[in-house]
Structure formats: structure tokens, C-alpha cells
């Protein structure tokens, strides 16, 4: 990926990792420019947020210990994605990053 593309999209990519509000802001900012680096991280974060919703439901209905363990795993994946955005890398989150890119390929 071109260095200029990464530099132009880095701020949007980082913003996307800050909860729903950051994701919406990054999506709106990227809507006019269509930066591929920012789009990559927006798709990763959409997947992570949906995963977090699923983990929250598991925590509520199945049990706290399983939910807490899955929540910790989701947090680790979020940190990996955020570090990738800061470093200017298209680093897919382990296990699910390829799926997120495929499922949300029309976004961004």
C-alpha cells in the first residue's frame, strides 16, 4: 500500500476504533475520500463491534465466566487492530479478520 494512502487514512482508521461513535465519524469522514486503508480498519471495527454484541449476549444469558473470557478475547483483538492502525499496517485481527473483510467488503 502506498505510504501516502496510509498517511491520509491513518487518522480515520484510528478514530474508527473508538466505540460506535468513532466508527460512525470515521465512516462519514471516509465516505467522500474512500481511502482504502481507512476502509480496511472500518471493516475490522464493524466486525469487532458486532462480535462484542454477541459476547455481551453470551455474558448475559450463558454465564459470567464464559462471557468474561470471550470479552477479554474481544478486547485483545481490539488492541491488535488499534495497534495496526497506529503503525499504519493493514493487520487483520487473528481468527476473524479475513471474515470481517469478506463480510463487509461493500462497506468503505
For residue 53, tell me if it sits in a domain: yes
Q: Is the pLDDT of residue 29 over 80?
A: yes
Number of CB atoms found within 10 A of residue 102's CB: 10
For residue 66, tell me if it sits in a domain: yes
Q: Can you tell me the distance from the alpha carbon of 8 to that of 61, in angstroms, rounded to the nearest whole number?
A: 42
In the chain, how many domains are there?
Answer: 1
For residue 65, tell me if it sits in a domain: yes
Residue 68: which domain range?
3-103
For residue 108, tell me if it sits in a domain: no
> Which tens digits make up the pLDDT trace of 36-70?
888 999 999 999 999 999 988 887 787 778 878 88
List of residues 6+ apart from 96 with CB closer than 8 A: 47, 51, 77
Amino acid at each position: 500500500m502506498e505510504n501516502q494512502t496510509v498517511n491520509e487514512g491513518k487518522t480515520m482508521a484510528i478514530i474508527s476504533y473508538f466505540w460506535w461513535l468513532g466508527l460512525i465519524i470515521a465512516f462519514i469522514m471516509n465516505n467522500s475520500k474512500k481511502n482504502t486503508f481507512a476502509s480496511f480498519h472500518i471493516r475490522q471495527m464493524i466486525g469487532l463491534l458486532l462480535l462484542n454484541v454477541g459476547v455481551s449476549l453470551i455474558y448475559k444469558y450463558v454465564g459470567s465466566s464464559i462471557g468474561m473470557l470471550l470479552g477479554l478475547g474481544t478486547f485483545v483483538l481490539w488492541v491488535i487492530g488499534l495497534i495496526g492502525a497506529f503503525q499504519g499496517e493493514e493487520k487483520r485481527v487473528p481468527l476473524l479478520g479475513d471474515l470481517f473483510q469478506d463480510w463487509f467488503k461493500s462497506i468503505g
